[in-house]
């Protein structure tokens, strides 16, 4: 049936029947359905209310969504019953493109058991993106059903056990590192809250290509804009001219460039991502620097580096 719908699934390795929790990265809204084709497992929903829709989407119904503590208690009770299938959990809690980095793993899935089996999930689809940040699940499902095909590849990794006196956070970080290494990407510290903030900014900020050049610019401003453009070729000229209008002066411009380049190098060094890979990162970074120079925005030291890179982690 999955082949008829255009969903092709392959796997490398096998699941361990002794493990009660599977840990996977998250790339689409039907990841749990895809993995259910390979092995018997159940996946709880963190947002879907119990009822027909939850059942139809293939989620495990645990009652009305409550606090994270209530969810953990419900899942522990579920695991205590030997007849239940293993749990499939997504510590990222939201989808990413799976091509650059993984979101920071939540620690609560690793409090349920001292032994988990990680697995990597990769997917590709012609012409249409696999997932888009901020798109509802039914839109992604529509494109999945009406695309030519979608190929999923699952790779099962060896089970991982908790080390003596290892905390849930350290356990989660270690498994994230293993998954990232297997996928050939990087484990980041960006959280699901950073993702939500990114989606909010994308909806609020106008696309760069829609920005118009100022109606009139002085020759001095044009020369300054060209100098900034030479240093920051990724930034559109309308953005540079607008920011120079807000933060005029050679000193301020030099400070903006210095702070921008420091944040780029800091981001590339700590996040292991290059700014040239981030479609809208340099724009937002320059805007934040300009706001800081004018005294009406966050300070340069407070500028979140995820503004520069989290977009490339999510967008496909």
Residue range 88-140, pLDDT digits in tens: 999 998 888 778 889 999 999 999 999 999 999 999 888 877 777 777 778 88
State which residues form the domain around 232.
204-314
Taking only the tens place, the pLDDT of each residue in 52-69 is: 777 788 888 776 566 778
Q: Which domain-ending residue is among 187, 219, 242?
A: 187
Distance CA(42)–CA(86), nearest Å, equals 6
Of the ranges 44-48, 68-72, 187-191, 311-315, the best mean pLDDT one: 187-191
**Mean of per-residue pLDDT scores for the chain:** 75
Alpha helices in the chain (DSSP H): 31-36, 52-56, 68-80, 137-146, 168-183, 192-204, 219-231, 237-246, 250-271, 281-294, 306-314
DSSP structure string for 180-210: HHHHTSEE----HHHHHHHHHHHHHSPPGGG
Do 218 and 179 share a domain, yes or no?
A: no
Domain assignment present for 160 = yes
Domain assignment present for 167 = yes
Do 178 and 239 share a domain, yes or no?
A: no
Do 285 and 147 share a domain, yes or no?
A: no
Do 76 and 224 share a domain, yes or no?
A: no
Q: Which domain-ending residue is among 139, 160, 187?
A: 187
Res 147 pLDDT > 50: yes
pLDDT of 234 reads 66
More confident residue, 168 or 258: 168
Do 89 and 213 share a domain, yes or no?
A: no
Do 160 and 56 share a domain, yes or no?
A: yes
Domain assignment present for 147 = yes
Q: Which domain-ending residue is among 160, 187, 214?
A: 187
Domain assignment present for 1 = no
Do 15 and 156 share a domain, yes or no?
A: yes
Q: How many domains does the chain have?
A: 2
pLDDT of 65 reads 60
Greatest C-alpha distance within the chain: 77
Taking only the tens place, the pLDDT of each residue in 247-297 is: 555 445 545 544 544 444 444 333 333 333 333 443 343 343 333 333 333
**Short-list 33, 42, 38, CA closest to 5:** 33
User: What percentage of the chain carries pLDDT values higher than 70?
Assistant: 70
Domain assignment present for 87 = yes
Do 146 and 210 share a domain, yes or no?
A: no
Do 15 and 153 share a domain, yes or no?
A: yes
Domain assignment present for 197 = no
Domain assignment present for 193 = no
Do 224 and 161 share a domain, yes or no?
A: no
Res 180 pLDDT > 80: yes
Do 219 and 291 share a domain, yes or no?
A: yes
Do 18 and 139 share a domain, yes or no?
A: yes
Domain assignment present for 108 = yes
Distance CA(291)–CA(50), nearest Å, equals 45
pLDDT of 212 reads 56
């Amino acid at each position: 049936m999955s082949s008829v719908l255009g969903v092709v699934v392959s796997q490398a390795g096998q699941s361990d029947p002794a493990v009660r929790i599977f840990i996977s990265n998250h790339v689409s809204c039907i990841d749990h359905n895809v993995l259910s084709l390979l092995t018997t497992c159940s996946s709880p929903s963190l947002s879907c209310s119990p009822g027909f829709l939850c059942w139809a989407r293939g989620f495990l119904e645990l009652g009305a969504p409550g606090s994270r503590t209530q969810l953990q208690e419900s899942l522990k009770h579920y695991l205590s019953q030997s007849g239940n299938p293993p749990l499939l959990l997504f510590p990222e809690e939201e989808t990413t493109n799976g091509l650059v980095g993984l979101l920071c793993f939540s620690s609560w899935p690793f409090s349920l058991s001292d032994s988990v089996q990680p697995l990597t999930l990769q997917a590709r689809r012609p012409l249409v993106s696999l997932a888009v940040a901020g798109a509802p699940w039914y839109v992604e499902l529509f494109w999945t059903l009406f695309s030519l095909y979608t190929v999923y590849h699952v790779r099962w990794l060896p089970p991982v056990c908790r080390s003596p006196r290892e905390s849930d956070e350290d356990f989660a970080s270690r498994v994230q590192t293993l998954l990232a290494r297997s996928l050939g990407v990087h484990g980041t510290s960006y959280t699901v809250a950073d993702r939500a903030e990114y989606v909010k900014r994308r909806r609020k900020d106008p696309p760069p290509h829609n920005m118009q050049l100022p109606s009139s610019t002085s020759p001095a401003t044009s020369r300054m804009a060209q100098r900034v453009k030479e240093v920051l070729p990724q930034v559109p000229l309308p953005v540079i001219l607008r920011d120079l209008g807000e933060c005029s002066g050679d000193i301020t411009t030099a400070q903006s460039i210095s702070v921008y380049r420091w944040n780029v190098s800091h981001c590339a060094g700590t996040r292991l991502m290059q700014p040239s890979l981030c479609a809208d990162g340099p724009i937002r970074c320059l805007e934040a620097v300009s706001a800081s120079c004018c005294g009406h925005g966050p300070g340069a030291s407070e500028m979140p580096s995820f503004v520069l890179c989290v977009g490339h982690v999510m967008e496909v």
